[in-house]
Structure formats: structure tokens, C-alpha cells
């Protein structure tokens, strides 16, 4: 089996390369090697490589910047999956498209099921929803949330830096979701690729948290590992106290029961995965 993985300079793409199943040929592309804004390049590369699976982990993820870069966000997040889908229909491969909890508006109080109605609040969310549509009914679409990894650009590493620099942090406490370790997500993506059944799936780590809860856990786990000398004061605030250009869903917990039923794997709590990631981060220092 042959897989083509996009976005290997990002945290999910890197994790996909590190967790590739034994016996698979895995070809990775960075942004510089495969410009998702270039439809001809996508057609040419997929036509040449003829992979059994394309896992599209690349995306425009600058949520706030997307509000003013709408065209670019839609070209990368919406048009590229459609092009992948069209060329794979000719070559016989399957698209695995990574999507996001931001396709939902956060107004429901239950965990969002794959079949629930989407209503994105931001340009980023809308572009990813359009990418799901472009991927088509033959694709495997996997929504996830709050992704982080050692060495990546993410909330965990930002908090660690700020905790070392400041005596007090203010963190939003009224947005609820689920942190997700990129390595765990990668394993699910590979598992679903092997299962080879099209549809929409959800992946997140077990448990839920606010950004404030997540920050507290980062501080406690990092201090226990000797990565912080002291924990600064962490103050919970409301979303209204920290306005951003893009609106975020206030509750974006994903129901992953159908995914876990298909894969039959262990569902690990986010704090356990956070501890593992921090140990990896410490080894990089």
C-alpha cells in the first residue's frame, strides 16, 4: 500500500510519518513541495505517484487571519480537497481529509455527532466545511479539535513560553472542547485508512476542558516534570474579555463513539497524552 501525506511540516503530518503502518510506502510533502493552491500540481503529483490513500493533513489554520484572507483560506481548505477527490476518482485512491470542530457553532449542549448539522461561525470553519463537501462521499473525513504536539505551534507550547515569562496569565474559561495529541490523531487516521470505509468520523482525546482548565493542567504537569520553576497566577476570563477577529464555538466537544466502535482501540484521556507530549518536549530542549 502507498500513502501520500500532505503537510508534513505541520504537527499532524509529522505524526503521520512517525506512525505509518508497517509495510506501507509513505510519501510526504511539505508546503514547498506541494502547493495546495496549485490544482495542476496536485493533479500531476497524484497522477504520478498513484497512491492508494492521500491523507490531507495540510490546511490554512490561521483562524483569525482567515477573516481577512478569505480567498486563500478557501483555496487551501475547500478547493484542494475537491481537486484531490477528483483526481483520486480517476486513479483509484481514497482521500482521508482532516477537518475541524469549527464546522459547528457550539450552541448544542451535547457532544457533536458526525451527522449533526454544521453551522460554522468563522471563515476558517466555513472553509473547512466546504472542504468536507469537496472531498465528497467517497472520502474519509475526520474532524478533530485543539491539536498539539511537541515542537509544534500550539496552545501548549505558547502557554509554556508565557508561563516562563510572566507572573500572571489570563485564559478563556467559557470555551469548552477537548485537547487532542497529534500522535493519537495520526493513529486514528491510519486506522480509518486501513478500515477503508468512507464517511465522517470524529477524533479527540477522552475528557473535556476549557482553555483555562487546559492551561492549569499544562502548568501542573510541566512543573512536575521540572520544566517550570514556578506556576504563575492563571486567571479565568470570559470570551468577551478577550475579543478576536474570528468567532469560536463555545462548546465543541465531538462525539467519537462511532470512531471508537470502528477501530476498537483504547480511548486515552487528554491529560495522560499531555504528560507524554511534555516529556517529548523536554527531550527536545
The Cα 147–Cα 12 span in angstroms is: 8
DSSP assignment of 105-143, as one string? -S--SSPBPTTSPP--SSHHHHHHHHHHHHH-TTSEEEE
Q: CA torsion angle for 47, 49, 53, 55 (degrees, to 10)?
A: -90
Inter-axis angle of helices 80-91 and 123-135, to 10 degrees?
A: 10
Contact 94, 139 (CB under 8 A): yes
The Cα 189–Cα 146 span in angstroms is: 16
User: Which residues, including other chains, have CB under 8 Å from residue 209's CB and lie 6 or more apart?
Assistant: 176, 177, 178, 179, 217, 270
> Phi and psi dihedrals of 232, rounded to 5?
-70, 170
Active site residue 148: no
The Cα 146–Cα 157 span in angstroms is: 13
DSSP letter, residue 176? E
Pairing of strands 209-210, 53-56: unpaired
Cβ-count burial of 165 within 10 angstroms (0-12 exposed, 13-18 middle, 19+ buried)? Answer: exposed
Selecting among 29, 60, 112, 124, the annotated active-site residue is: 124
Contact 126, 77 (CB under 8 A): no
What residues act catalytically?
124
Amino acid at each position: 500500500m502507498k500513502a501520500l501525506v500532505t503537510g508534513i511540516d505541520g504537527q499532524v503530518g509529522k505524526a503521520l510519518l512517525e506512525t505509518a503502518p508497517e509495510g506501507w510506502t509513505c510519501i510526504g510533502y511539505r508546503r514547498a513541495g506541494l502547493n495546495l493552491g496549485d490544482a495542476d500540481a496536485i493533479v500531476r503529483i497524484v497522477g504520478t505517484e498513484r497512491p492508494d490513500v492521500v491523507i490531507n493533513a495540510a490546511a490554512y489554520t490561521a483562524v483569525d487571519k482567515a477573516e481577512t484572507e478569505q480567498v486563500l483560506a478557501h483555496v487551501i481548505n475547500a478547493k484542494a480537497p475537491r481537486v484531490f477527490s477528483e483526481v483520486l476518482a480517476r486513479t483509484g485512491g481514497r482521500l482521508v481529509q482532516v477537518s475541524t470542530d469549527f464546522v459547528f457553532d457550539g450552541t448544542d449542549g451535547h457532544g457533536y455527532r458526525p451527522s449533526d448539522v454544521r453551522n460554522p461561525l468563522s471563515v476558517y470553519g466555513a472553509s473547512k466545511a466546504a472542504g468536507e463537501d469537496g472531498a465528497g462521499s467517497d472520502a474519509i473525513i475526520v474532524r478533530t479539535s485543539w491539536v498539539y504536539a511537541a515542537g509544534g505551534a500550539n496552545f501548549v507550547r505558547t502557554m509554556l513560553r508565557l508561563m516562563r515569562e510572566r507572573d500572571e496569565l489570563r485564559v478563556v474559561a467559557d470555551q469548552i472542547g477537548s485537547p487532542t495529541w497529534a500522535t493519537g490523531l495520526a493513529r486514528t487516521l491510519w486506522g480509518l485508512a486501513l478500515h477503508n470505509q468512507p464517511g465522517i468520523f470524529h477524533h479527540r482525546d477522552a475528557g473535556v476542558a476549557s482553555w483555562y482548565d487546559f492551561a492549569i493542567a499544562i502548568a501542573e504537569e510541566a512543573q512536575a516534570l521540572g520544566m517550570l520553576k514556578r506556576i504563575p497566577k492563571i486567571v479565568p476570563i470570559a470570551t468577551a474579555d478577550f475579543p478576536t477577529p474570528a468567532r469560536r464555538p463555545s462548546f465543541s466537544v465531538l462525539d467519537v463513539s462511532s470512531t471508537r466502535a470502528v477501530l476498537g482501540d483504547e480511548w486515552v484521556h487528554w491529560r495522560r497524552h499531555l504528560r507524554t507530549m511534555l516529556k517529548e518536549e523536554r527531550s527536545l530542549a
